[in-house]
Structure 1
Amino acid sequence: MTKVQEGYMPLGEYKTYYRIVGEKSDKAPLLLLHGGPGSTHNYFEVLDDLAEKDHRQLVMYDQIGCGKSSMPDDKADELYNAPTWVKELKALREYLHLDQVHLLGQSWGGMLEIIYLCDEQPQGIKSGILASTLPASWMWDKELHRMIKFMDPADQKAIAEAEAKDEFTSPEYQRANAKFMEMHCNAAPSPDDPEPLRRKKNAGSVAYITGWGPNEYNPEGNLKDYDYMDQLKDINVPVLITSGTDDLCTPYTAKSMYDRIPNAKWHLFEYCRHMSFVERHDDYEKLLIDWLNAND
């Protein structure tokens, strides 16, 4: 049975939950950055078997504001922002002595990875994996609104009316948004999904609204001005970009990163939404193993 170690890292007066899968080896661990903001590490547990397959430790954690970590929602405006989450990432690497690592950031976790790589120019990063993520908030807004235009006219109307009123509680909007998310984001776990996706999670809704906004296509939180298009050229480690054909991360978004990151590779998974590593699990892990070993 795969060894799993759990613990908490102090972060000032708060704490960050972490989970380490597998035994130490001569291979650099894979550090996983989850999405949201305000999701949890849970869905990354579908990759636990990678620790045995590749004889490599996996490290995952719940960012402050969600999961088993501290959730100081009363200080949301002060704490739920990119500087805090970058500080937490840096502290975790130091606390767990992750001197040499590969990074995999999915969705918001990929944004966090981009910010970290560009602004901090950290040492000891063997490679980066950017999974279904984005280089700029305005691009997510633009591309997702383009995809909304393919929806039923009634759903388009419900979303447009909610946006015009800045009120996202009507039953019509809720149904339309749920449909959009199901089409592109694995948003409603089915009985056939792996247990980590079906498990009830302590999602950080306050962190999500504070950092991002009321939904995926209205970035109104403190990340609304996130734009690293010009800085992508400064990423100095090998980067693997992964996305799905039915993803929130559209081919245009993925290619925008691929075109600008100097040492990048891009793999597009057919018929996949926002979690290719769930829907094409075995293929994704094979790709990861080949990539990680090529860049150790």
Structure 2
Amino acid sequence: MSASTSSTLPFRDGETWFQVTAPDEPRPGALPLVVLHGGPGMAHDYLRNLAALADETGRTVVHYDQFGCGRSSHRPDAPVETWTPAFFVAEFDALVAHLGLDRFHVLGQSWGGMLGAEIAVRQPRGLASLAICNSPASMQLWVDGAAELRAQLPTETEEALRRHEEDGTTSDPEYLAATQVFYERHVCRVLPMPQDFVDSEAQMEAEPTVYHTMNGPNEFHVIGTMRDWSIVDRLPSITAPTLVVAGEFDEATPATWLPFVESIADVRSHVLPGASHCAHLEQPEAFRAVVAAFLAEHDDA
């Protein structure tokens, strides 16, 4: 069985926590995989099961908690302008340098896929491939997709969401209950919610600085600093082979990820039937099989 070790590296005025899962039987030529979690600020817990790729593919798998959440340093009093994509690209670069990774794959889920694209447009020398999972190419596309999905909710649910958003009462129990209806359709369709997802959400709710600053109070009411983010115009700069993964009922609707498919030169896409935003929790074996095949194809010979 694979073995996991954790440590920290210095970053800015604090530390970044990371975990390295090494395979019991390394496969020659299998490059390490660095996993980027979502949120921003959701920590790696809900992506824990991707560590199984270590034994399944014979490669090292690296998880980390991005600065400001999870086991890494928190800065609830940091200026709003601290939390930018460039900040988290710099953190990724620091991690790769700390671990001495010359060649590597990157898999990002949700915000992690957006961050992965931000990394890839810079064409880092060591990037062997990129997997963008359940991610939009712009927040306007994300908001538009969320509006379409919200329109399909029961009338009383959508009315509760709209009323509390207009009143600024998004912590009201009625609003949170309505939010849950959306989550159970389009974020994670496994009920009760898997413990790994619960763990990520709990740490975010305990100290929500990054999530609330960059995103907003939830997945579909985006009022944070990322509201105008887009990478659409920069996508032709991505030269690494890219896999785009989504779920059939994903809150990342097809229109949100289509620009990746249209603008990245070496790209393919895969939609998991019956899955939503957390396809890796809903259909873990199927999700990992798709990723594993892609990684193997782009390992160094």
Distance 2:29 2:297 in 1: 14
Q: Post-superposition shift, 1:256? A: 3.0
Please, what TM-score do these two structures have when normalized by structure 2?
A: 0.92
Distance 2:129 2:246 in 1: 17
2:244 to 228, 231, 241: 241
Distance 2:13 2:210 in 1: 18
Q: Work out the percentage of aligned pairs sharing the same amino acid.
A: 28
Structure 2: gaps spanning 5 or more residues = none
Q: Is the 8 A contact 2:128 2:298 kept in 1?
A: yes
Distance 2:154 2:139 in 1: 25
Cα root mean square deviation, aligned:
1.8
1:174-213 to 2 correspondences below 5 Å: 174-186=176-188, 190=192, 193=194, 195-199=195-199, 201-203=202-204, 204-213=207-216
Which has the higher mean CA deviation after the structures are superposed, 32-41 or 179-188?
179-188
Q: What is the SS of the residue equivalent to 2:233?
A: coil
Q: Is the 8 A contact 1:103 1:129 kept in 2?
A: yes
Aligned to 1:52: 55
- Deviations 1:13-52 (Å, cap 9, x if unpaired)? 2000000001465321000000001101112211222111
Q: Note closer, same or farther for the CA distance 1:224–1:86 as it changes in structure 2 (3 Å cut).
A: same
Q: Post-superposition shift, 1:215? A: 1.8
Aligned to 2:4: 4
Distance 1:186 1:222 in 2: 25
**Aligned amino acid, residue 240 of structure 1:** L
Please, what TM-score do these two structures have when normalized by structure 1?
A: 0.93
Distance 1:165 1:241 in 2: 37
Q: State the aligned residue count.
A: 293
Aligned to 1:284: 287
Distance 1:89 1:53 in 2: 25
Q: What is the SS of the residue equivalent to 2:232?
A: coil
Aligned to 2:95: 92
Distance 2:189 2:225 in 1: 23
Q: What is the SS of the residue equivalent to 2:77?
A: helix
Distance 1:222 1:87 in 2: 18
1:168 to 167, 170, 178: 170
Structure 2 residue 82 is matched with structure 1 residue 79? yes
Q: Post-superposition shift, 1:264? A: 0.7
Instruction: Find runs of 4+ consecutive structure 1 residues off by over 6 angstroms.
Output: none
**Aligned amino acid, residue 177 of structure 1:** T
Distance 1:188 1:174 in 2: 18
Q: Post-superposition shift, 1:99? A: 1.6
**Aligned amino acid, residue 226 of structure 1:** W
